[in-house]
């Protein structure tokens, strides 16, 4: 007994030391975490198309390719159109505009010409450009290796075949880099540019050629270091909200789960420290959607602990000793935790590799959080629990007991639940139809989707972020009638960039007059121009594809794990149900649909699927026991939902608390994200308890009736 107690003390001391160490390191690395442009500012670069009137198709194609290029600097970089021939690039987490411009490379035109000066190949027919070193006659030569597209391969093969013995010039940005003689037809789709003096020159050329494959030739118009859109206020309030939310969750866990709750709090504290360290270690750029991923992963970390502790209570209720109950509880909870986390991890992986921009940032933080939450729940919590048990907390009263209670007839209310869901979703479709009739748009799309007006104002004095938020924004909102106002402060100047929904000529004039009247600004120091949506059509397409692929893969995984496609089908239907219900609130309440909309929907998808997996895991377990207790299929479903009901409520409550505190303390843009997320949490809980099991039951019994 003494030896066991000593081990418990040592184990607990080690855990407390780890919590303190990782907490300190996590706090210490806060300054090392890269924050997005919406949280900490960054570099804004504007390019102008050399062509005077570029087509909309060329502009769209160029924007998309630039978006792929700038993600090398940050997954949260934004590329969007200004006016008719300008493209703006916002790159968060960096401060040296000149260095970025040099590394990004000046977008220019790449052409291959024959001796008559005729263009035989253009830059958009080059699929890749890589720097390299080759040996030529015993000497090193620095080259750029080009690989052509299928169309480019054919064009180059035809050109080299027709020009054997003649020269083909490789010209980039009006400079001849290579003018070799064609000795034989080149049909493999590859060639090299030589003539560089060192590897850095070759690498720079390769980088600019990759931009040179753009549909348009661009020139730099301006570059700025910009202040944060949300500012320090958003960061401080988010941290304060996180601390308060964590404290409330900690008290809740200890009150409800007693000693296991203490173990969970220690594990969660370690989890928070670890996730901060991982964000810094992996150089992740943290933005508002990224915070969404962390919130979801915290909810899943709590959920894993709740599943385990509920199982322990059940085992104690069945008459097992505490030590045996702990072992059995972890074993029985394992499948639900693994399946729920792996399913969400699949979605995160697809979103990362197939998505772009904010979608990729969300996926990164979510994936890191999922892995850490699973590790801390299955290993750290377990170690802490055994350490506390060894310290003398051996009585069942320290762990709680859950005995078999009355089974709730959830399926008896399935028709009512289906009707409620149909009415709510129907209201959403009706709301979208009304919106379309009134405004021409089904939803209240924000600037990120529709574009708007960018107003540059040079104030007579340096305006602080707080002054901009409290004095300037209300003046602008009074004219637009919309709270969706984004402001950026250009570092080192008195210039402020104000982005709003598209303003009419009258509204632009009114804004100019009000700014002059309220702040004594000269009218000449106020300029306005139209901007396109930061969420391009291609980015929206990528997001849709990513979600679609993730949904299919999740369906296949659930089918594989549960050996029944009806589990997978009902889970996906419930997931679609949750998205449509939240969409209803966006339509009816006219919530602004911006870049956070995508992150919000993805968070809800992840939360919903995890809640569903827990109930399905219990149904699967009870089906295996069905032969011995002779339960009907209806009783199995009702019993499974009843057994997991406490877990569903407690997990939802803890996650809801985190988001509510964020909503109460956060700035307006964070509230805009938190409000629909609260609806999604409530809806996800409702669908997992009242809809998902009923759908599976109907699919199963319908098949039997058909037979």
Cα angle 174, 175, 181 (rounded to 5 degrees) comes to: 115
Beta-ladder partners of 603: none
Given a cut of 80, whether residue 203 has pLDDT beyond it is no
* 345 in any annotated domain: yes
**19 pLDDT more than 60:** no
Compute CA distances 321 → 5, 392, 478, whole Å: 18, 14, 66
pLDDT value of residue 58: 81
Q: Is residue 405 in a domain?
A: no
Residues 176 and 86 in one domain: no
pLDDT tens, residue by residue, 42-89: 788 888 888 888 888 788 878 877 877 777 677 777 888 877 888 888
Q: Which helix (H) or strand (E) holds 176?
A: strand 175-178
Q: Which domain holds residue 516?
A: 452-531
The answer on 282 and 379 residing in a single domain is yes
Rounded CA separation 338/300 (Å): 11
419 in a structural domain: yes
pLDDT band at residue 531, thresholds of 50, 70 and 90? Answer: confident
Lowest mean pLDDT among 258-272, 470-484, 531-545: 531-545
Whether residue 167 lies inside any domain: the answer is yes
Identify the DSSP state of 472.
I
CA-closest candidate to residue 305, choices 251, 253, 346: 253
What is the percent of the chain where pLDDT is above 70? 84
Whether pLDDT at 311 is above 70: yes
| Residue with the larger pLDDT of the pair 95 and 77 | 77
**What secondary structure, in 3-state letters, does 665-693 show?**
HCCHHHHHHHHHHHHHHHHHHHHHHHHHH
Same domain? For 72 and 25 the reply is no
Domain end marker among 496, 531, 566: 531
The region of weakest confidence among 280-289, 303-312, 343-352 is 280-289
The CATH number covering residue 523 comes to 3.30.70
Predicted confidence at residue 347, as pLDDT, reads: 80
pLDDT tens digits, 637-663 = 999 999 888 888 888 888 888 888 878
> Residue 391, SS3?
coil
Is 250 a residue whose pLDDT tops 90? no
186-201 pLDDT tens trace: 888 888 877 778 887 7
Please, which pLDDT band fits residue 707 given cuts at 50, 70 and 90?
very low
Please report which confidence band the pLDDT of residue 432 belongs to, taking 50, 70 and 90 as the band edges.
very high
pLDDT tens across 384-427, in order? 888 888 888 888 888 888 777 788 899 999 999 999 999 999 99
> In this structure, are 356 and 423 located in the same domain?
no
Chain centre distance of CA 586: 19
Question: CATH code at 285?
Answer: 1.20.1640.10
Residue 463 lies in a domain: yes
Given a contact cutoff of 8 angstroms between Cβ atoms, the answer to whether 365 and 599 are in contact is no
441 part of a folded domain: no
| pLDDT exceeds cutoff 80 at 285 | no
pLDDT on residue 15 = 59
pLDDT at 629: 60
| CA 547 distance to own-chain centroid | 12
Answer yes or no: is 223 within a domain.
no
pLDDT at residue 232 in the model? 60
Beta-sheet pairing, 42-49 with 218-226: antiparallel
Q: For position 695, what pLDDT does the model report?
A: 93
Which is more confidently placed, 293 or 127? 127
CA atoms within 13 A on the CB side of 454: 22
Domain boundary pick from 488, 511, 531? 531
Shared domain check, 462 and 380: no
Q: 435 in a domain, yes or no?
A: no
Q: Mean of the pLDDT values across residues 338-359?
A: 79
Rg over alpha carbons for the chain, rounded to the nearest Å, is 30
- Does pLDDT of 247 surpass 90? no
| Unique residue bearing structure tokens 């991890």 | 345
Q: Which one of 206-215, 228-237, 307-316 scores highest in mean pLDDT?
A: 307-316
| Residue 469 C-beta-side C-alpha neighbours within 13 Å | 14
| One domain, residues 31 and 53 | no
81: domain CATH number?
3.30.70.3400
* Residues 150, 216, 107: CA angle, nearest 5 degrees: 95
Shared domain check, 384 and 352: yes
Residue 302 per-residue DSSP state: H
Tokens at residue 634, please?
């209806």
Greatest CA separation found in the chain? Answer: 94
Distance CA 683, CA 677 (A): 10
Q: What is the CATH number of the domain that holds 197?
A: 3.30.1360.200
One domain for residues 420 and 364: no
Pick from 42, 89, 541: nearest CA to 285: 42
pLDDT (mean) for 310-321: 88
With 0-12 / 13-18 / 19 or more C-beta atoms within 10 angstroms meaning exposed / middle / buried, residue 427 is: middle
Domain boundary among 489, 506, 531: 531
In terms of domains, do 57 and 83 share one? Answer: yes
- What rounded mean pLDDT belongs to the chain? 80
The C-alpha atoms of residue 398 and residue 578 are separated, in whole angstroms, by 38
pLDDT at site 409: 92
Distance between the two ends of the chain, CA-based, in angstroms? Answer: 61
* Together in a domain, 292 and 340: yes
More confidently predicted of 259 and 137: 259
> Do 554 and 688 sit in the same domain of this protein?
yes
**Based on the structure, what is the number of domains in the chain?**
5
209 and 308 both lie in a single domain: no
Whether the per-residue pLDDT at 171 is higher than 80: the answer is yes
d(CA 358, CA 343): 21
Q: What is the pLDDT of residues 543-585, one digit of tens each?
A: 777 778 888 888 888 888 888 889 989 988 998 899 899 999 9
């Amino acid at each position: 007994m003494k030896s066991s107690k000593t081990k418990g003390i040592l184990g607990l001391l080690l855990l407390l030391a780890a919590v303190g160490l990782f907490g300190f390191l996590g706090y210490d690395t806060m300054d090392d975490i890269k924050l997005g442009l919406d949280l900490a500012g960054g570099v804004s670069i504007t390019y102008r198309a050399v062509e005077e009137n570029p087509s909309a198709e060329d502009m769209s194609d160029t924007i998309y390719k630039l978006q792929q290029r700038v993600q090398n600097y940050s997954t949260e970089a934004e590329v969007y159109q200004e006016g008719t021939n300008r493209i703006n690039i916002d790159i968060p987490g960096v401060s040296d505009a000149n260095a970025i411009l040099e590394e990004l490379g000046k977008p220019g035109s790449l052409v291959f010409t024959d001796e008559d000066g005729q263009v035989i190949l253009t830059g958009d027919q080059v699929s890749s450009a890589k720097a390299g070193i080759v040996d030529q006659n015993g000497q090193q030569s620095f080259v750029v290796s080009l690989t052509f597209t299928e169309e480019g391969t054919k064009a180059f093969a035809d050109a080299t075949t027709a020009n054997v013995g003649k020269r083909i010039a490789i010209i980039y940005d009006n400079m001849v880099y290579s003018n070799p003689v064609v000795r034989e037809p080149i049909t493999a789709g590859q060639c090299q540019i030589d003539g560089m003096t060192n590897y850095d020159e070759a690498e720079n050329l390769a980088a600019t050629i990759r931009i040179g494959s753009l549909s348009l030739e661009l020139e730099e118009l301006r570059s700025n270091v910009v202040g944060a859109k949300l500012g320090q206020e958003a960061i401080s309030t988010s941290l304060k909200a996180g601390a308060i939310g964590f404290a409330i969750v900690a008290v809740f866990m200890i009150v409800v789960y007693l000693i296991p709750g203490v173990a969970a709090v220690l594990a969660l504290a370690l989890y928070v420290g670890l996730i901060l360290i991982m964000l810094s270690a992996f150089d992740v750029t943290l933005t508002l959607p990224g915070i969404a991923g962390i919130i979801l992963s915290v909810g899943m970390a709590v959920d894993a602990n709740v599943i385990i502790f509920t199982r322990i209570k059940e085992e104690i209720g069945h008459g097992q000793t505490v030590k045996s109950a702990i072992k059995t509880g972890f074993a029985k909870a394992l499948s639900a935790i693994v399946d729920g986390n792996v399913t969400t991890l699949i979605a995160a992986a697809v979103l990362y590799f197939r998505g772009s921009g904010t979608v990729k940032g969300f996926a990164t933080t979510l994936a890191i959080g999922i892995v850490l939450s699973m590790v801390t729940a299955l290993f750290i919590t377990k170690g802490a629990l055994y350490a506390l048990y060894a310290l003398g907390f051996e009585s069942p009263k320290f762990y709680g007991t859950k005995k078999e209670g009355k089974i709730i007839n959830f399926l008896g209310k399935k028709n009512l639940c289906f009707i409620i869901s149909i009415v709510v979703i129907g209201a959403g479709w009706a709301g979208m139809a009304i919106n379309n009739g009134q405004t021409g748009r089904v939803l209240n799309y924000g600037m990120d989707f529709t574009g708007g007006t960018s107003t540059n104002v040079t104030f007579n004095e340096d305006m602080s972020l707080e002054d901009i938020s409290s004095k300037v924004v209300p003046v602008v909102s009074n004219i637009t009638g919309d709270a969706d106002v984004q402001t950026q402060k250009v570092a080192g100047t008195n210039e402020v960039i104000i982005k709003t929904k598209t303003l009419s000529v009258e509204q632009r004039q009114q804004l100019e007059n009000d700014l002059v009247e309220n702040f004594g600004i000269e009218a000449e120091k106020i300029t306005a121009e139209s901007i396109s949506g930061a969420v391009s059509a291609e980015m929206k397409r990528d997001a849709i594809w990513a979600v679609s692929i993730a949904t299919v893969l999740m369906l296949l995984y659930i089918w594989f794990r549960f050996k029944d496609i009806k589990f997978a089908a009902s889970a996906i239907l419930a997931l679609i149900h949750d998205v449509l219900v939240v969409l209803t609130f966006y339509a009816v309440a006219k919530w602004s649909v911006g870049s956070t909309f995508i992150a919000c929907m993805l968070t809800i998808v992840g939360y919903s699927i995890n809640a569903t997996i827990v109930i399905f895991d219990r149904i699967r377990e009870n089906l295996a026991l069905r032969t011995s207790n002779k339960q009907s299929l209806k009783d199995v479903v009702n019993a499974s939902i009843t057994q997991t009901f406490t877990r569903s409520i407690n997990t939802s409550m803890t996650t809801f608390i985190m988001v509510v505190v964020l909503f109460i303390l956060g700035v307006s843009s964070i509230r805009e994200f938190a409000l629909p997320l609260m609806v999604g949490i409530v809806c996800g809980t409702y669908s997992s308890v009242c809809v998902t099991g009923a759908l599976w039951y109907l699919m199963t019994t319908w098949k039997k009736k058909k037979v």
